[in-house]
Amino acid sequence: MRLILLGPPGAGKGTQAQRLVQKYGIIQLSTGEMLRAAVAAETPIGLQAKDIMSSGALVPDEVVVGIISDRLDQPDMKNGFILDGFPRTVPQAAALDELLKKKHIKLDAVVELRVNESALLDRVETRVAEMRARGEDVRIDDTPEVLSKRLANYRSQTEPLIHYYSERRKLLTVDGMMTIEHVTREINRILAAIGAGEPKAATPAAPAKRSAPAARKTAKPAGKKPAKTAKKAVKKAPKAGKSASKGTKKVASAAKGKGAKKAKKAAKKVAKKTTRKAAKKVTKKRAKR
């Protein structure tokens, strides 16, 4: 599954991305988190991005696109990804389309979390007040002042993506003002509706050429019938030497299946008896002479 989460800052994209990661076993690609990590590590890119992020402006496209391109080449991207915070402009979206096309990667959907901006500002003010009351550090880009600038940037630069992806039939819109649980359920519902993340149905097994009952009917039972055939053959066995051996062969060939062994034994007994009788007759004739 390969998704983009679209929505203004504070809409809950990060929270929903984490839930999708847990449900589908995919990777979250948050450009914001990657850049913040670079700022914390004081890398050259991080120091460059620090001033840009604190002012609420956008990080240059070439930096973000380069980060994403390298990340998509990692082995853990096999199951898919969620892009959170990118693209933010139509040119970025076009650059992403080219990047995915070059890497032969298909984008499944763009999920938009639609929210009320004034409600977002209230949320941020409440969150910042709570964090300060607990003595926690507040992110430089997570204050009402910075959020107001970011919302203005979102309206002017990012909102056009709604039309961009709608034209390409990739856009799925969810009411982001619902509770977190309701938003999660709605995202899962619409993803299931388009078949994103669903396991492929197993190919049905080819039907058997002949059913089991039919096979039973056509199979010739072994046991009683071959035994009866053997008995009939024994009765017809010749009464003297060479003829007796021929009779034995006939009995053996007539007996098939499970009754073959019994038939052979019976044939041998008959052969012995007939041979003895024939020998006695010959002896008697010679004695008379």
Catalytic residues, which ones?
Answer: 13, 88, 127, 139, 150
Instruction: Give DSSP secondary structure letters for 106-128.
Output: ---EEEEEE--HHHHHHHHHHHH
User: Which H or E run includes 144?
Assistant: helix 144-153
Residues paired with residue 81 on neighbouring β-strands, in sequence order: 2, 27
**Any residues with CB less than 8 A from the CB of 212 and at least 6 apart, and which?**
none
Both structure tokens of 245: 């051996």
Fill in the amino acid letter for 258.
K
Both structure tokens of 31: 């450009």
**Any residues with CB less than 8 A from the CB of 220 and at least 6 apart, and which?**
257
87 preceded by cis ω (within 30°)?
A: yes
- Return d(Cα 92, Cα 96) in angstroms, integer: 6
